[in-house]
Structure formats: C-alpha cells, structure tokens
Amino acid sequence: MFIWRIDELKSKLATAPLTDREALPYLLIFVGVTGLLPLFPPTEMNHWDYLSAGFSLLVALGGTLYVYARNGGNSGRYFLQRYFAIGWVTTVRWLAIVVPLFFALMFGLDWESHTTPYETVYFAVAEIFLFARIGYHVLDVAKLTVAI
C-alpha cells in the first residue's frame, strides 16, 4: 500500500492494474473514514456550515466525474482502482499542506468557535485543488498506460 510516494504508485498502476488484494486496503480506508464521520458531528451548525457541506458535496460529485473524464471517460480503464489508490495518496499529501496552513491562517485571523466565511472559502478552494490534483495524477497514469 502506498501512502506518500505518488510517482511509485503511478508507475505501478501504469504497468498493471492493482489486484483485488492490493486495492482492498484503499477501499477499507475509504469505508472506515466514511463510517467514522458521524462520530464527529459539529456541536452547533450555522449557515456557513450548511453552505460548506453543500459545496463539498458538489465538489465531490463534480470532482469524481472530472477524474473519471481524465481517466478516459467511458473508454477509460481501471477507474475505481486508480481513483481510490491515487485519491488516498493525494489526500494524505493534501492534508499535510492544508491542515497546517489552515491552523496558521486561523491563528492569524483570530480563531472563532463557529464556522466563518474564511473557513468556508478556504476549504472550498482546497477541495477543488484536491480533485484537480487527483485528476492530474489519474491522467498521467492513463497516458502512461496507453504508451506502454
């Protein structure tokens, strides 16, 4: 399982699809994280939380379709394997940048106990960037696969 080394993962995916055994950890992480999310509900939601949640849903749906298109659309191959594996590694790398930067920005903007427009915009841009990067890496693999 790859956690950080995106180039090694892309090389592996370009030469052969992941076996079901190799893809299983990525799926389990997705299912586990999704299953744990309800354990962390916000204590009190404001309109910025609702706006952020709605936008996140749209970005996730649109981003997934974008990545699907970057993989070749209907003629693409091994989309789910690439999506989960590349998505995991890209998300780990994304979090390593987004979380510390978020805390630095919130420290500079005086932390508030409720969601603000700054947080909403920050995460909207960050989420779009995440799917753009996943799409970038999936396209690389799709191109390499055709070339091999």
| pTM listed for this prediction | 0.89
Position 143 scores a pLDDT of: 93
Question: How many domains are there within the chain?
Answer: 1
Question: What per-residue confidence (pLDDT) applies to 148?
Answer: 55
d(CA 42, CA 146) in angstroms, rounded, equals 45
Confidence (pLDDT) at 3: 84
Q: Is residue 1 part of a domain?
A: no
* 101: in domain: yes
Q: What's the pLDDT score for residue 45?
A: 85
Three-state secondary structure readout of the chain: CCCCCHHHHHHHHHHCCCCHHHHHHHHHHHHHHHHHHHHCCCCCCCHHHHHHHHHHHHHHHHHHHHHHHHCCHHHCCCHHHHHHHHHHHHHHHHHHHHHHHHHHHHHHCCCCCCCCHHHHHHHHHHHHHHHHHHHHHHHHHHHHHHHC
Residue 34: the pLDDT is 84
**Domain contains 11:** yes
Query: What integer pLDDT is reported at residue 115 of this predicted model?
Result: 82
Q: What is the pLDDT of residue 105?
A: 84
Is 41 a member of any domain?
no
In a domain, 40, yes or no: no
Domain presence at residue 132: yes
- Predicted local confidence at residue 147, as pLDDT: 62
pLDDT averaged over 10-residue windows placed end to end, the chain, 148 residues: 90 92 93 82 83 94 98 95 96 95 81 81 95 98 80
Residue-range definition of the domain harbouring residue 20? 6-35+46-147
What pLDDT shows up at residue 8?
A: 93
Identity of residue 57? L
Q: Which residue has the tokens 């396209």?
A: 139
